[in-house]
Amino acid sequence: MVLKNNCINRMLQKNALITLFSIFHFIAFIGAGDKPNIVFFLVDDMGVKDLACYGSDFYETSHIDQLAKEGMRFTNAYASHPVCGPSRSAIVTGKFPVRLGLVGIGGGIPKGEVIWPKVLKDQGYTTYFTGKWHMGGADSILKNGFDYNVAGSNNGQPGSFYYPYEAKRGVQRLPRQDVKGMEDGEPGDYLTDKLTDKALRFLDQHGKDPFLLYFSYYNVHKPYVQNAQGKKEHTDYFKKKLSSMPTVTKERRQVERGGEVIDELLVQRNAEFASQIKTVDDSVGKIMSKLKELKVSKNTIVIFTTDQSSMCTSSKAVSSSQPYSFGKSFAFDGGIRVPFIVRWPENIKENVVNKTTTISTDIYPTLLDMLDLDLMPGQHQDGISLSKTFDGSHVAFDRTFYWTYPSNHSLGHKGSLAVRQGPYKLIYWSENNQELYNIEKDVGENNDLSTTHPEVLQAMVLKLEQWKPAQKHINKLNMQ
């Protein structure tokens, strides 16, 4: 009798454990299913005016335009730096690049920084990176929270967008420009298409798991071989489109800023560059279609933005940011205003234009808020959550933005710092060379107020000089 009771007790205990395990498994399954997926599109060298939904009458971006209709389009969004590497580092760390020691062209993730993809990985997300990294070698991608890395390295541009993606100077090949991890292609392959194909396979394999797809396009940056290189069929199409467009009477202007004459392109008429943009748009369309096919579209947060503007100055210019002045490398709005679109069905109001002034360091805390995770203000110290805007509300601009690029650039930029506070922006070349603009009244930054508003100028200069991260760079500019 005792033996029989022991057997019954053991059976009950076993059944209880099985039931308990099943409950925990069910809870974990439900929890995993409830976690929203994230698709983060980051385009290289695309300005705020390089999309149809932001006003271009030449470029064709139907899929990105549709994304904007299904979500919220911000019209006062800024990049944290006017060139690639530092801007990308600010996006993932939530800090202005100068805090990271990044003020040149290259990026990086200093020891001790916890980027938001790592936070997602720690929360059980499968994390996939593809495309341009430019923040360290390929090994740094996996070390910083990604399960997969396809084609990411410290390269800032591909040798060519066509397979084998190589760069040559005459007959000499330059292997440093090779796109690593894409050796399995064949002649005729276009890089963006192949990266998209691999990303689609990732979604097929992991689309039912909580996932992060961080698609960081090499496009629309120039390849090493030329200033723009689109797909031939798209380029031919845009060349025909150009022939039917009205003739432009003034294509360029030469204007002085900071004592330097800047040669600026005023029109969007480059068929190769238009083709590059079209290829990115096609890629976005394929990813969005896959999300719908997998029935995960409604539970996926989609963010689309860029690292800074396109090349709009010098003989390398391929586009125009007008009515904003200049482009990549400049801290004028034409160089640092970027497209920023956020889509999350049933959570973000659709087809809304939001005028809230924001900057790319806001992405980190915004994502944490969207995922109902604790904010990390010591990490994303230069960003705020934008979740209050998702019902269409406008958040007043009561912060100070800083840009630190004290080096010259081949696009015509002369080393400078910049500050935006309220409606005013200060461009600082040296203690004797500054300009002041009212961004709200003068979007083109054509009317320098430094002599008519000396008290505002003085207050802005003092604000910059008292900001510790910028002080040594101010001294560097003043010594030149």
Domain ranges of the chain: 36-397, 415-480
Find the mean pLDDT for residues 375-387.
98
- Find the DSSP H helices in 263-362: 271-293, 333-336
The band of 167, judged by pLDDT with boundaries at 50, 70 and 90, is confident
The mean predicted confidence, pLDDT, of the chain is 93
- Whether 36-397 and 415-480 share one fold: the answer is no
The band of 29, judged by pLDDT with boundaries at 50, 70 and 90, is very low
Instruction: Please give the DSSP secondary-structure letter assigned to residue 83.
Output: S
pLDDT, residue 13, reads 52
Contact between residue 97 and residue 361 where contact means Cβ atoms under 8 Å apart: no
- Which residue did the predictor score with more confidence, 173 or 192? 192
pLDDT, residue 309, reads 98
Q: What is the pLDDT of residues 48-64, one digit of tens each?
A: 999 999 999 999 999 99
Assess whether pLDDT exceeds 90 at residue 119: yes
The band of 33, judged by pLDDT with boundaries at 50, 70 and 90, is low
The band of 236, judged by pLDDT with boundaries at 50, 70 and 90, is very high
CATH level 2 (architecture), domain 36-397: 3-Layer(aba) Sandwich (3.40)
Predicted TM-score of the model (pTM) = 0.92
pLDDT, residue 419, reads 98
pLDDT, residue 381, reads 98
Q: What torsion, rounded to 10 degrees, do the Cα atoms 40, 43, 49, 55 define? A: -50
Q: What is the pLDDT of residues 193-235, one digit of tens each?
A: 999 999 999 999 999 999 999 999 999 999 998 999 999 999 9
Assess whether pLDDT exceeds 70 at residue 20: no
pLDDT, residue 279, reads 98
Assess whether pLDDT exceeds 50 at residue 3: no
pLDDT, residue 154, reads 94
Greatest CA separation for the chain: 104
Least confident stretch, 24-33, 111-120, 310-319: 24-33
Residues belonging to the chain: 480
- For the beta sheet containing 416-421, the strands, ordered from the edge strand earlier in sequence to the opposite edge, are 400-405, 416-421, 424-430, 433-438
Q: State CA 144 to chain mean position distance.
A: 18
pLDDT, residue 176, reads 74
Q: State CA 333 to chain mean position distance.
A: 16
pLDDT, residue 12, reads 45
Contact between residue 158 and residue 127 where contact means Cβ atoms under 8 Å apart: no
Q: How many CB atoms lie within 10 A of CB 288?
A: 21
Scanning the structure block, which residue is given the tokens 């560059």? 273
pLDDT, residue 178, reads 84
Assess whether pLDDT exceeds 50 at residue 1: no
Q: What kind of fold does domain 415-480 have according to CATH?
A: Arylsulfatase, C-terminal domain (3.30.1120)
pLDDT, residue 225, reads 87
